[in-house]
Chain A
Amino acid sequence: MAIRFDASSEYLDCNVSIPAWDACTIMAWVYIVNDRATFSYILQWTNVGATAGNFCGINASRQLFVEQSSLVTGTTLSVGTWYHIALVSGPTNATVYLNGVQDSQTSSASFTPVVTMWGGAGGWVDARMSALKVFAAELTAAQVLQEMRTVRPSGRVACHAFYPCRILEYADLTGNGRTLTPSGSLTVEDGPPVSWGATPLWVTNPSTARKWLLGAH
């Protein structure tokens, strides 16, 4: 499942314990439902008043962009397709990954982050989002690709916050208490084709198991 944003000022944000500007990764699976043909923010973390920060979204032509010191566009996204999008910030660059591959990049600049946000307040996005994750680290391309494969964090890099967004639940499932705050009348719709990441449950050789249980050797 996924959470749907379909109106102005519908978004999710967290203003608790935001990672540093130069070591932060924020990601989600994203599905554009309708083309608003205008700037629409997807992922961002910003300072007070959003006068500075790292931004990722689509422009009026649905080109995916990263914005920090400058705005750089990348791939044109299609309506009705699931994409994994990650916004990665380091001391040198802010980078957007699309389905695990670097898509656009701009130079970083320092700011004091106070909030992470999915969707936007003014430039809202008409989309579904699922498997929201935050890392207090500048993930590598390989790490982004690994996180893309499953809804739950892979465990290879310590996860700062995790919100599966299967239903209208906003708790941080890492247990770190970085709860999301919803804005607007959010709803739930079908989610991405991504495994949660569990494994099937096995029964080993039943005859051996029975012998063990009976104390046979």
Chain B
Amino acid sequence: MATSRVFLTPLSAEFPASNFPALSVVNQRPVLAFDTTTAEACQWTFAAPQGLAGALSAIIHLFGNAAGTAGVVFSVALEAITPGDAVDLDSASSFDTVNTSASTAMPATQGHQTSFSVTLTNADSIAAGDYVRISLARVPSDGGDTFAADAYVTLVELREA
């Protein structure tokens, strides 16, 4: 049985200086609004839980700012720093290759929630106790991202197989 490990919420997201999803509130629900044309990304920081041993996946929960069944595509990248790693935190990032989702059809009715899983094949050799950053980005340049409205991410769950 898969095990939930970390829950990443909009209110705990961190943002780059540009091209970031808007931290918004929709019907009193905090959301991250990912644009339909600009590639926007945000990050979260956590320590890799103890006992981490299995493969990880990111479950992304979202709803759309429009009706229709067009698709969205997201990518997830991990940066896992073990004490002693040769990464200069002052000046460099060390994210592994992005893991890109398939195109996921949004619900036909605006406001209805859906979710999809991104297998974190490229997990930067994450190990228990690592200092980890995870980056979530929408990929509007992907041919499968045809949803012509904001995608409202409500929650990201890290799950261990």
Contacts and interface: CB of A to CB of B under 8 A. Distances in A.
Nearest to B1: A206
Contacts of A202: 5-7, 46, 49
14 contacts: A166-B24, A167-B25, A191-B22, A193-B15, A195-B11, A195-B13, A197-B11, A200-B45, A200-B46, A203-B7, A203-B49, A205-B50, A205-B51, A206-B3
**Dominant secondary structure of chain B at its interface with chain A:** strand
Interface residues of A, number: 22
Nearest to B35: A190
Contacts of B3: 203, 206
A23 interface: no
Contact of A200 (B16, B17, B44): B44
Closest 4 CB pairs of A and B: A193-B15, A198-B11, A196-B11, A201-B7
Contacts, number: 71
**Dominant secondary structure of chain A at its interface with chain B:** loop
Contacts of B6: 200-203
Interface of B: 3-18, 20, 22-25, 30, 33, 44-46, 49-51
Given A193-B17, A203-B5, A1 B11 contact: no
A51 interface: no
Given A190-B22, A196-B11, A197-B11, 7 more contacts: A1-B24, A190-B33, A196-B10, A196-B12, A202-B5, A202-B7, A206-B3
Contact of B15 (A166, A195, A203): A195
